[in-house]
Chains A and B, each alone.
Chain A
C-alpha cells in the first residue's frame, strides 16, 4: 500500500543513481538512523551492547568487507580471520607505541595496514581462481595466525602471549579498556559502520563496483571492455581487507579487550563471516547486515529459548546450538540460495503490488 514506485519520478540521472531510489526505502532508512542514534544510546545496557549490538556492528563491517571481495568481485577468501588479526595487532602495536594517538586514527591505520597485507595475499588471484584461490587465502589465514603467535614482538613480549587493549579516551570518554561505557562503545562502532557502509555503497554503485562485478560475472568480457584485471582484483582485495582490518581492530579494542590470536581470529572466524555473507546474500550490502544480524542473534535467541524458557542445561544448549545453526544454514541455502537479501527483495516486489494480486 505504501511501498510504491509509481509516481516517484526521477528527473535527473543523479537522482536515479541515488542509494535509495524509492521514497519509502529512504524514509525507512531515516527511521532506522533515528532509532540507532536517538533512542538506542539512551536505553542501551551492558548486556545488550556486549551480547548483540556491538558484535552485530563489528561483524557487519567484516561482512561488508568480505562481500566486496567475494560477493562483488567473485574472489573467494577464507582468510578473513587472519586479516582481522592483522587489524587487531596493528591497532595494538599502534596503541602501545603511540599512546597519544586517538582511536579513530588507530582504527583507520589498522585498516590501511590490513589493506596492504590483503593486496599481498591477493596477488595469486591473478593466476588462480575459485577453490584454488580459497586454498591460497586459507594458507594466509594459517600463516598470519602462526606469525602472531610465533613472533613475540607482535604481543610486546607479554608472558601470556595475549594482547590487551589499554584504556583510550575519545572526547573525554573511555572507548576501550574495562571502564568504557556501553553507549560510548556502541556509538563508536556505529560511526564506523555508518561511514564504511556509505563508502561501500558509493564504491559499488559507481565505476569501481562495475569493474568488480564485471570481473565476477565474466573476466574475459571484462578485459575486452578495458578492465585491467590486475587493478580490479587488487583494488577489491585492498578495499575488502581495509574493512576486515577495521572490524578486526574494533573487535579487539572495543569488544573483546584482550585477545589470544588463535582463539579470537582462528579459521572459525573466517567461516563465520563467510556464512554471514552467504546467508545474507552475496553481492548485497543489505545482505551483509542481514547476515551479521542473523549469525549474531541466532545463538542469543537460541540461548534465551532453550536455557531461559525451556530450562535446558547450559552445556547441552550450547551443543544443540551448533546443530541448530548448522541445520538452519543448510535449510536457508536450499530454500533461498541467494540469501536473506533475496528474500527481502522478493518481499518488496510483493509489497509493491499489495493488496492487489497482479
Chain B
C-alpha cells in the first residue's frame, strides 16, 4: 500500500493526491441487534478517487450514509479536515462541503433540470426573504451569479439540451447525469457517488466514467464511489476499500486489492486451485 504520509503523492498519470481530508476511525453502526458496520477505519485523501466495494449487504451504502449524516454510528469517530466531526444532520454535512448522489435517483421530479441543478447552489444563496420577495439587489444578483455556475456544470455534463425539461420526463441515464450535476454544482470538497452506473448500458457507463474522471481532473474533487462493476472500479479508482458483512477485508490500490486472497474469496469469487 502507498504510504505517502500527510504530504501526498503524484499518481502515475500525473494527478496530485493530497493529504488525508477525511478519516474514519473504528466506525461501528448497529441497527438493533444487526451490525451493519463493524469497526471500520479508513481514510480519504484529497483529490483521489476512493472506491468502496463489496457484495450486496456488505454495508457500503450504510458507510456512505454515515458520512453524509443519515446514520449516526454508535462507536468510532470521523475526522474531517483535521477536526473531529460531531454528530450532524444531513443538511449540516452538506454545508460542510460533502455532496452525494443516491443509488435510486433522488431528484426533484416536478422541477426542471435547471431548477434541480440550481437547488445544488442553495447553500451559496444568502439573500434574505425580503430581498427575495421584492427581487431586489442581492436576490437578483445571486440568481444570476449562481445561474452562471449552474450553466457551467450543465455544459460540462452535456445536458444543455434538456435544461428546461421537467426531470420526470427524462430517461434513466440522463437522470443520473442530472443528479451528478446537482451534486457537483455545490462545489463539494468530497463527492459521494452511490452506484453511479447501476442499471446503465455500456455506452452510458463509458460516458459516466468519463465524467467522473473529468470531474476529478478538472475540479480536483475528491470522489468516494460505490460500484459493482469491477472493471469500472479497477480502472477509475486510486484506492479501494473492500467490505464484506460489515467488516473491512481489504484496502489498497486496485492491483493490491485484486491480489488480496481474502478479497478474492469473499467477493470476486474466482476459484483458486
Chain A: residues with CB nearer than 8 A to chain B? 12-14, 16-17, 199, 202-203, 206-208, 210-211, 213-214, 216-218, 220-229, 235, 239, 283
Contact = CB atoms under 8 A, between A and B. Distances in A.
A218 B70 CA distance: 15
B144 A14 contact: yes
B108 A217 contact: yes
The 10 nearest A-B residue pairs measured at CB: A226-B94, A221-B106, A217-B108, A207-B125, A13-B147, A226-B123, A223-B90, A202-B135, A199-B133, A13-B144
Interface string B142-184: 1110011001000000000000000000000000000000110
B91 A226 contact: yes
B129 A226 contact: no
5 contacts: A203-B132, A208-B129, A211-B122, A217-B107, A221-B102
A218 B94 CA distance: 16
Interface of B: 68, 70, 89-91, 94-95, 99-100, 102, 106-111, 115, 118-120, 122-123, 125, 127, 129, 132-135, 139-140, 142-144, 147-148, 151, 182-183, 186
A207 B90 contact: no
A90 B273 CA distance: 85
Contact of B148 (A13, A221, A228): A13
Contacts of B140: 14
The A interface is mostly helix, strand or loop, or mixed, namely helix
Contact of A17 (B94, B122, B147, B183): B147
A225 B133 contact: no
Contacts of B183: 225
A229 B107 CA distance: 16
A17 B114 CA distance: 11
Contacts of A217: 107-111
Nearest to A211: B122
B120 A225 contact: yes
Contacts of B111: 210, 213-214, 217
Given A208-B132, A217-B108, A224-B90, 13 more contacts: A14-B143, A16-B147, A202-B135, A206-B135, A206-B143, A207-B132, A210-B119, A214-B111, A217-B107, A225-B99, A225-B182, A226-B123, A226-B186
